[in-house]
Amino acid sequence: MYEFAKVDYPYVKKDNGCRLVWTDPHDNDKEKVIYLTQDDLSHLHTVLSQKSTGRVTLEDNAGSIIVNESESSFNIKGDKPLTVKTSVLAEKFLKFIEDHDKVIIKCTEYVPSQKIGEVDVKNKLLSAILTSETKEDKLDTDLFHVMATRRSTRKFAEKQIEDWKIDRVLAAADTAPTAGNFQGFEVFYVKDEKVKEMLVKAANNQPYVNAPLVLVFCKNPSRVKLNFPPETLAKFAIQDATIACAYSQLAASALGLSSIWIGMIDEQKVMDAIGTNLRPSSILCIGYPVQKRNPRPRRNLKDLIHVI
């Protein structure tokens, strides 16, 4: 007899459905799983949220869900029905919806300066900027030279950053590798001067946070739809956000800009300033440097690299 255990994301599946899991109380390694598509999930949510009863026919007529007052049954073609108390199902199911549907982003959509064609490709922004012509040819394409000459800057010139360069900095974040390619992060491009001042206060009153270009990188573990515990998904999300920020920082350097990575932040104050409930990982401040600084010496490789 299998007992209902949880509602969770599907295994490595990028749609907005879920999976319902029953386990054998005598053997935790044995389980039965029912997958719900986004439409299935939506129909079941309607029934349970209204505390009503009814029948949900699964997509492609794969089976049905019958919700009664006391017990609900899941009838999949070719398998024995699985049952669960309706009260238990409603509690776990609605909690799942609440936990994974409460990302708040109070912002307008970013509109790139580059004109994007009608071709439906994943990296529209990247495709547009790589095929566009720029007025200036100031792009360092030697990756190792970019790495060697990058320096943190705390004094930015008042010179405005060209839109085409901002496009490239943001596109770099979009190309960063992420866990399962789910991109468990969000980028907040801060233009509002009042918000920048709030971020200065949230970053231990570091004045250079009010830079010409300010990007806040936030973790969004709800995007990482992998079958792992929440703490693991959170780890993936902070890694995703960190790598994306690093990609943007290197892109800025390649474009002749300087930057500083801000990690000393009051997370809640940052969240309040930008209007989200996503936790920030860092703030990247970018601009033209008042003075270009020379690279500083680093550790010897023999002290840094440890061969096992």
All structural domains of the chain, each given as residue ranges with its CATH number in brackets, are 3-99 (no CATH), 124-287 (3.40.109.10)
Give per-residue pLDDT as tens, 64-120: 999 999 999 999 888 889 999 999 999 999 988 877 656 666 677 787 776 655 544
Total number of residues shown for the chain: 308
Q: What is the pTM of this model?
A: 0.67
pLDDT at residue 166, as a whole number: 94
Q: Summarize pLDDT for 12-47 with one digit per residue, the tens.
A: 444 567 889 999 888 877 888 888 887 888 889 889
HEC profile of the chain: CCEEEEEECCCCCCCCCEEEEEEECCEEEEEEEEEECHHHHHHHHHHHHCCCCEEEECHHHCEEEEECCCEEEEEECCCCCEEEEHHHHHHHHHHHHHHCCCCCECCCCCCCCCCCCCCCCCCHHHHHHHCCCCCCCCCCCCHHHHHHHCCECCCECCCCCCHHHHHHHHHHHHHCCCHHHCCCEEEEEECCHHHHHHHHHHCCCCHHHCCCEEEEEEECHHHCCCCCCHHHHHHHHHHHHHHHHHHHHHHHHHCCCEEEEECCCCHHHHHHHHCECCCEEEEEEEECECCCCCCCCCCCHHHHCCCC
Which residue in 26, 36, 35 sits closest to 1, CA to CA? 26
Highest mean pLDDT among 124-128, 148-152, 215-219: 215-219
User: Looking at residue 122, what is its pLDDT?
Assistant: 56
Segment of 9-23, 69-83, 123-137, 232-246 carrying the highest mean pLDDT: 232-246
Supply the pLDDT for residue 120: 46
Instruction: Give the Å distances, CA to CA, from 96 to 17, 213, 281.
Output: 11, 37, 25
Amino acid 73: pLDDT: 94
The arithmetic mean of pLDDT across residues 133-152, rounded, is: 77
